[in-house]
Structure 1
Amino acid sequence: MTRDRTLMAVAFAVTALGVSSVSLLAPVLPELADRYQVGVQQLAYFQMAVMLPGIVTGVLAARLARALGKRFALVACLAVFGAAGVSLVLVTSFPLAVALRLVQGVGGGGLVALSFLLAGSVAPERRVRAVGYNAAVVSITMVLAPLVGSTLGGYSSLAPFAWYGLALPAAVVVWRVLPGAAASATPEATPTASPASRRAPSAEVVGILAMTVALNVLVFGWFLLLTPLLLDANGVDLTWRGWALAVQSALATVATFATGRWRARERYAVLMTLGWGIGFVFVAGAGLAPGGLGIAALIGAGICYGILNPVLAARIAVVDRGHWFGWWQSCARTGQVLGPVVAGWLIVGLPISAVFVVGGTLSAVVAVVVAVRAVRR
């Protein structure tokens, strides 16, 4: 029990650090644009740079953990993430700042993958619950990080970068509290399949990874990019836009905890169908409902993420004994990068209401596919 509590505590802390790489700085982007003497729109490259490396580093970090132990992999990722992040305090050149964000993303992409790998290393009877709670930390961080960033930004636009410096003492703590035996893979967490089978994911694994990409496209494109645009189109000011996004993430957190018992009972197909179905109703409703009802629907869409993210993480934790965690995180990062691009491209040629209907249709299609597969089984 003590070992499991240590693993879970480290996993939660690492998740909070890794997820904060984007949302923490969102409130101070206008001030950073002034510091780097660029347009605010160019800060999109600054934010995207920290996510791009995670497309590959999730897989690489998981392989490093299997080869040298989770403790070594975690400490390496924390050191890279923290050193690159806190170094931004000294930088005034925009190209150099983007380069440092890329380096920070190398560590950050590995952190989230390794945190879920740690959560999946607890005793089998507590594994699904631990992974679900770790997914809840993602939603909680998405609520709190912008508030922390805006508070620190009130002192200085550079103050939020100091937050990333916490990763450096965290690396020391991780090295001390995770001995090699605990950080190494346990018999339950070590894949025993042959090398050939590990290179050939099952149909279920492919489905989970595909849904992970689709979910993050929806969240980072439709929720985080288009929500502020819809709110602005309805005359909602900056302060209330921030609170709307916070409530959206808070609802995701509530949904994660509320469905915990269903995950523990392995009702994965039911939860996936429910999550994607809710996504269809709320996202499409945001485009079709008038005024305030559309805004309420889009805020409520956070429930979709709160149901689906932990269930996908929990399922990948038990398929092939967690071997595909790194790929799962890389797929999440892929969706996070593609989401704003796809949503931005659609909004150029379509009314925003039609773009929300497209997003809702995506959810509906996935819900139908999951339901049909469940019935066939």
Structure 2
Amino acid sequence: MDENPGGDTGGSEIPWYSVVFYVIISSSLIGVMGVSLISPLLPELREVFGVSDAAVGLFITAYSIPGIFLTPFIGYAADRIGRKWVLVPLLFTFGIAGAGIAFTTSLPVALGLRFLQGIGATALVMLAVTLIGDIYDGNRRDTLIGINGSMIGVGAAFYPLLGGVLATVRWSVPFLFFGVSIPVGILAVVTLDNSTGASDVQLSTYITRIYAVIQLPEALALFAAMFLAVFIYYGAVVTALPLLLSDEFGLTSSAIGLILAIAALANAVTSSLYGRFSRRWTAPELISLGFVAFGSGLLIIWRSSTTAVIAIALLGFGIGIGLALPSIDMKVVTLVSDDLRAGMMGVRTSMLRLGQTIGAVGFTFVADAFFVSTVEGYRTLMLGTGILVTATGGLLYLSFRN
């Protein structure tokens, strides 16, 4: 269906006057807040909690783990009882648990709260994209998926800056900011349709149908692409790069946040143009080009000797995310019927969380355990991963064009 909830769009493909549209966008923005906001703080958290590089990566891992296992079941719940009655509790859980971290300096307690916050974050972006697929269709749907990705990029650009600035007040203040999801949850209660996405599909039938779709080569390729894209981005950029910038260049949290924002801004611009890109290139071609951009960024970081060059390299990551992730989302939401859409997006999100989890601890653990210094380890990992990803993306693009 292609409804206009919340007001007239004035003929535009973007429903600027729809309150529901803003709830959808806000949910996505909150869904990416959990990592982006605290990424510049990772070096400082080493001192606050008295931990190593590998241990501080657990702030990302503890947050990501719930999404690996819970998202498909949350997807079923959203398809069964409706999107609203799943989205609202997640928003409240995210805000309460995230803000609670500000009141502890115990690592086990903080990681436990991050785990609960991760439960709240599991399906926020997934449900936002699912709602777009429910409510809109045709080119408007593709455009809004791109706009949603663009707004995620804007948020991801703003959050490191905000996190770095708030941290200058006190390390705990960025965690308090997570509480903004609570008023969004209240707004979702008031505005979302109670029946959106609700169906009478039974669990056994649902699992059978989802499993059949997952085995399709196209679905497997999409999920693999999601995992790899997120593994590279969260391992190399979100976790390893802030530690590298702190240890090798002596940058503060606010300066790190400013540099990381470049990738997110490039993502925002690229995603906002996705509707145009999708008319010229197929989704597999755009995903392949995204991986070429990832690899190029990694190789530039490996060769960089100044923060200015690293800033240029981050443009590659932003472009890659802006091409790859909207392409994957568009293919997933159109791969199945309405009553399976949230479930398939749930599997997609499980792959995203798995990439976050392994990427965050993978890069830091390998650099910490197998190299003389973590700086040497991060640079070597950038080189090896960059060569592999660039070559793979380039070969896939050529194969899709032929």
TM-score by length of 2: 0.81
Pairs within 5 Å for 1:216-365: 216-228=230-242, 231=245, 235=249, 237-238=251-252, 239-263=254-278, 267-288=282-303, 295-302=310-317, 303-321=319-337, 322=341, 323-347=343-367, 348-349=370-371, 352-365=378-391
Residue of structure 2 aligned with 1:97, choices 103, 110, 117: 110
1:232 CA drift (Å): 5.4
Q: Which moved more, 1:49-58 or 1:206-215?
A: 49-58
Counterpart residue type for residue 327 of structure 1: V
Alpha carbons 1:71, 1:174 under 8 Å: kept: yes
Alpha carbons 2:70, 2:122 under 8 Å: kept: yes
Aligned equivalent of 1:22: 35
**CA distance in 2: counterparts of 1:351 and 1:92, whole angstroms:** 29
Alpha carbons 1:88, 1:100 under 8 Å: kept: yes
- Give the gaps of 5 or more residues in structure 2: 6-14, 200-204
Pairs within 5 Å for 1:32-71: 37-39=49-51, 41=53, 42-71=55-84
**CA distance in 2: counterparts of 1:61 and 1:295, whole angstroms:** 38
Counterpart residue type for residue 210 of structure 2: R
**CA distance in 1: counterparts of 2:250 and 2:106, whole angstroms:** 34
Alpha carbons 1:222, 1:359 under 8 Å: kept: no
**CA distance in 2: counterparts of 1:353 and 1:92, whole angstroms:** 31
**CA distance in 1: counterparts of 2:40 and 2:242, whole angstroms:** 13
Aligned equivalent of 2:177: 163
Aligned equivalent of 1:176: 190
1:212 CA drift (Å): 0.4
**CA distance in 1: counterparts of 2:98 and 2:378, whole angstroms:** 35
- Give the gaps of 5 or more residues in structure 1: 187-192
1:110 CA drift (Å): 2.1
Q: Deviations over 1:248-291 (max 9, x none)?
A: 22112122223331225662132122222222333224324665
Alpha carbons 2:57, 2:239 under 8 Å: kept: no
Pairs within 5 Å for 1:181-192: 181=195, 183-185=196-198
Q: Which moved more, 1:255-264 or 1:10-19?
A: 255-264
Distance 1:180 1:298, change over 3 A: same
| Partner secondary structure for residue 320 of structure 1 | coil
1:219 CA drift (Å): 0.3
**CA distance in 2: counterparts of 1:123 and 1:266, whole angstroms:** 22
**CA distance in 2: counterparts of 1:101 and 1:11, whole angstroms:** 23
Alpha carbons 1:129, 1:264 under 8 Å: kept: no
**CA distance in 2: counterparts of 1:353 and 1:100, whole angstroms:** 32
Counterpart residue type for residue 386 of structure 2: G
Q: Which moved more, 1:26-35 or 1:143-152?
A: 26-35
The alignment-based identity, stated in percent, is 23
Counterpart residue type for residue 176 of structure 1: V
Counterpart residue type for residue 92 of structure 2: A
1:143 matched to 2:131: no
Q: Which moved more, 1:330-339 or 1:273-282?
A: 273-282
Alpha carbons 1:136, 1:310 under 8 Å: kept: no
Distance 1:250 1:233, change over 3 A: same
Q: Which moved more, 1:141-150 or 1:99-108?
A: 141-150
Distance 1:360 1:25, change over 3 A: closer
